Structure 1
Amino acid sequence: MPALVVFDCFGTVVTELTPMPEAPELARRLAAALELPAATAAAVIDDLIGTLWTALTDPAAEQPASRALLARVLDEHGVPADAAAVDRTLWHVMGPDDGRFRLCAPAAEAMVRTAAAGHTVRMVSTCYLPGDQMRRLLAGLGVPDVLDACLFSADGGPKKPDPRAFAAVGAGDFTRRVMVGDTPHNDIAPARELGWDTVQVDAAAPDFTPLHALLGI
């Protein structure tokens, strides 16, 4: 029977070559994007990251939508920005402009192989970019166009390891669900608790043979 196979994004399908930039670098990017004084940009980033960090460190908390959050924080600091400016700023500050990301080739091959065998392929990601920008990032990296659906936490709502996130991305008439990810506490343990099969991937040495064996492909 065809299964639902859900891939984690960062650390599984997308390799992070360097850590997320620290607050001073994010503030520098924000200042450049909106032509802000350095002090204003730093204050905006502090509030933005502080709000996100509070949500991300509470497993049960919903993540605020990135677009709405940035627009609100900018407004609170007296920075005018229309929707287009907010979009440009998010991409410039949080996007892949610095070459931080690379496609994991074995993961891409596994996604194609899984889809070709008739299984449904989806993605779940804890991220800072909203869904349309995440899809832009994935397309730019060459992630295979086999995803049936995605859950990106930056659109707002539950995120891993919240069971509600798994329920959302796992919705549908499937007799078998498989989670593929690199993080035990965010990807593997919560999926197992829901009765999913799991495949843990080592981001430093990605091997998807266990997934192929599990699916018989």
Structure 2
Amino acid sequence: MPAVVVFDCFDTLVLSRPLPGAEHFTACVADALALDPRQAGEVVETVLGAVLTAMSDPSALQPPTLGLLETALRERGERREQVDLERALWQGLGCEDPGQYTLCEPIAEAMGRVAAAGHTVRLMSNCYLPGTLMRRLLQGLDVPEVYERALFTADGGPKKPDPRAFRLIGQGAFEQRVMVGDSGELDIEPARALGWDTVRVNPAEPDPAELLALLEL
């Protein structure tokens, strides 16, 4: 019977350099949203502070990034269109910086083979970019569009390693569930605790052989 195979995004399917710092984020927010540097700094501090607080607690729900940004602006008497908010996040998180994000070709190719064999492919990522921007990023990197569903935590809700996140993305009548990721703490251990098969990826030397052997491909 076909399995559901869940791929982590960053450092598994997509390789990333360290994220730009708060100073870069602030400059992008100021530019994209036409704010003075002081206001932009306050907004960034509010948004990043809320996300990092949630990230530090494994069982805390992650607040939606766009909602945080919109609320931080509204509290300062500022309102912006969603397209402007998305542009601020896109630029602030380095999506226009050459080489910030690159495709992990061996894992992407394996993902395509998994789907072609009739298995269900899904994505799950602890991220700062909302789903609309995550899909834009993945499309721009030529990630195979074979995934049937995705859980991007910046849209709000449970995140890895919370079992609720794994149960959400693993929903369905599957006899086998497989988690593919780089982090033992966030990807492998929580999935294994739920009885899933797991494949750990080393981003420095990504090799899909274990996954392909597990699925007999």
* TM-score of the two chains, using structure 2 as the length reference: 0.97
Tell me how many residue pairs correspond in the alignment. 216
Equivalent position of 1:75 in the other structure: 74
Equivalent position of 1:146 in the other structure: 146
* 8 A Cα contact 1:201 1:207, kept in partner: yes
Q: Deviations over 1:143-185 (max 9, x none)?
A: 0010010000011000000000000000000000000000000
- For 2:189 and 2:74, the matched residues in 1 are separated by 39
Structure 1 stretches of 5 or more lacking a match? none
Say whether 1:173 aligns with 2:170: no
Equivalent position of 1:182 in the other structure: 182
* 8 A Cα contact 2:131 2:152, kept in partner: yes
Say whether 1:41 aligns with 2:43: no
Say whether 1:206 aligns with 2:183: no
- For 1:145 and 1:114, the matched residues in 2 are separated by 12
Aligned-pair Cα RMSD in Å? 1.0
* 8 A Cα contact 2:20 2:94, kept in partner: no
* 8 A Cα contact 1:47 1:73, kept in partner: yes
Q: Deviations over 1:174-215 (max 9, x none)?
A: 000000000000000000000000000001110110000100
SS of residue matched to 2:123: strand
Equivalent position of 2:130 in the other structure: 130
Shift of 1:80: 2.3
Q: Deviations over 1:79-122 (max 9, x none)?
A: 22133322222222225111310000001111011111111110
* TM-score of the two chains, using structure 1 as the length reference: 0.97
Equivalent position of 2:105 in the other structure: 105
Structure 2 stretches of 5 or more lacking a match? none
Q: Indicate the larger mover: 91-100 or 37-46.
A: 91-100
